[in-house]
Amino acid sequence: MAAVPILQLQAATRRLAGRTIVDGVTFSLDRGSVLGLLGVNGAGKSTTLRVIAGLLAPSAGKVLFDGCDLHDEPALARRLGYLPETPPLYAELRVDEYLTFCARLHGMRTADAHKAVDRVIERCGLGEVRRRLCGNLSKGFAQRVGIAQAIVHDPDLIVLDEPASGLDPVQAASIRKLVSELGRDRAVILSTHLLHDVTACCARVAILHRGRLRHDGALAELTDTQGGDLESMFFRIASADDAQAAA
């Protein structure tokens, strides 16, 4: 029996306020792979991820999580971890309290939740801030708590919206390492406008421009066959349309 891909988008389209933000995006993702969703600002990355996380319903097309529609099977959402653009922290809670709540919210029992929180605190390097209030964290730590929140309940699919934003180069490198590790046995999809994020931790890259998927393929393939590297390809896609629009 062929395994069902953990995530399938079938011509997923999303309109907001009369504008088509995500336009017929189709791809699928298996466990054990990291997909980088690359695009300039306003390309529709965040909206695509919100549709995948179940925050927005697709206006047309389908989004299937493990073969099911999240809307029909809300309990499936427990197997999904999502980091929005701004980390969803409760300023008045301590980091460990907050992460325990996140784990419990996704259906973990109290004892399991405490173990999971200890694990994730170690994994994300949050030991020194575990008893600090979320509201008093620096941007880098807040972002890391946000990532911890998305993985604490051990989800099968991890959706990260610009995980490395606001981090210094050292922190960004450690996050990229963490993402590659997570991608070994889970499916990870992350959005970014930084080419380096993609080359550092993604095996596969999808380029989104004006809501359309313009490229989807393995990173290695791209550098080998087409002669150009990712950078020139990204610029070609991003600027070609602008020239078209100007004409």
Residues making contact with another protein (CB under 8 A): 14, 16-17, 53-57, 70-71, 74-78, 80, 82, 84-93, 97, 101-102, 104-107, 149
Residue 166 or 217 having the CB closest to another protein: 166
CB of 173 to another protein, least distance (A): 26
Q: How many CA atoms lie within 13 A of 163 on its CB side?
A: 35
Residue 160 or 207 having the CB closest to another protein: 160
Residue 92 or 229 having the CB closest to another protein: 92
Residue 84 or 183 having the CB closest to another protein: 84
Instruction: Enter the DSSP assignment of 77.
Output: G
Mapped onto helix, strand or coil, the DSSP state of residue 127 is helix
Phi, psi of 22 (to 5 degrees): -120, 125
CB of 164 to another protein, least distance (A): 18
* Beta strands in the chain, from DSSP E residues, in sequence order: 7-16, 19-29, 33-38, 60-65, 68-69, 80-83, 157-161, 187-192, 204-209, 212-218
Residue 243 neighbours by CB distance under 10 Å: 8
CB of 102 to another protein, least distance (A): 7
CB of 229 to another protein, least distance (A): 35
